Amino acid sequence: ARLAPTPADALTDAADVLALVKERSEAVQSVSAEARVSIYGDQGARKAKMIIVARRPDSLHFQALAPTDQMLGILATDGTTFTSFESGAKACYVGSACPENVSRLLPIIDMDGEDIVELLAGGVPVFSYERVELSWDGARGGYRLDLTADSAPRVSQQIWVAHKTGDVLGSRAAVDGKERFVLEFEDFHDHDGARIPHTLSANIRNGKVD
């Protein structure tokens, strides 16, 4: 495959690339979408149409629909509490908005609401790090940030970022030697001056969820 050459005006400071990512991400304060969702895991394949509404910092509304638009399940959280209900269930669940509860309907990497909103806005959760190195990845056609922390928790995270736009192309993270996620963002579109990826792929190998 042909490698993308380093741009003549490429950034050379990792802090500048991180600032570009933050600026692009924060341009998206809320997202509403009708999406096709496919989840593959230990419980088999689950596919549904989903209405998604997300607002910073951590408000979320997920509604899963059958092909006939019949409601299959709903989950809503304001960042403090959550409510979840699935069609045919005998109980409606309410409680604190911890990652386990927020991920009941859509198991996105066992994240809290703020990190899920960040993902839906085209950003990526960044783990605490002690060092960061910047390079150009010709195979990905973008910058590569390598973030590491040797003190507990030990972190190794890579983030790929598009030149100029600051679009996050993907990320991989491992914490204490265990891979947390592999993320891919594709098919970017402009919406009122903000760029949002229309395809998000999340692979959680430790939890065998794709």
Residue 33 pairs in a beta bridge with: 52
Mean pLDDT of the chain: 90
Which of 49, 50, 57 is CA-nearest to residue 77? Answer: 57
How much is the pLDDT for 102? Answer: 82
State whether residue 18 is helix, strand or coil: helix
Which stretches of 101-208 are assigned E, i.e. beta strand? Answer: 131-137, 142-149, 155-161, 168-175, 178-191, 194-203
What is d(CA 208, CA 210) in angstroms, rounded to the nearest whole number? 7
How many whole angstroms separate alpha carbon 45 and alpha carbon 38?
Answer: 7
pLDDT at 6: 96
CB-CB neighbours of 92 under 10 Å:
10
Q: Which stretches of the chain are DSSP H helices?
A: 14-26, 99-102, 113-120
Residue type, 136: W
**pTM for the full model?**
0.90
Q: Which of 38-42, 74-78, 176-180, 189-193 has the lowest mean pLDDT?
A: 38-42
Check if the beta carbon of residue 110 is closer than 8 Å to that of residue 100: yes
Secondary structure (3-state) at 177: coil
Q: What is the pLDDT of residues 110-152, one digit of tens each?
A: 688 899 999 999 999 999 999 999 999 999 999 999 999 999 8
- Cα–Cα distance for residue pair 147/6, rounded to 1 Å: 21
User: Which pLDDT band, with edges at 50, 70 and 90, does 45 fall under?
Assistant: confident
Rounded to whole angstroms, how far apart are CA atoms 142 and 166? 9
Q: Which residues contact 6 (CB under 8 A, 6 or more apart)?
A: 136, 138
Can you tell me whether residue 153 is helix, strand or coil?
Answer: coil
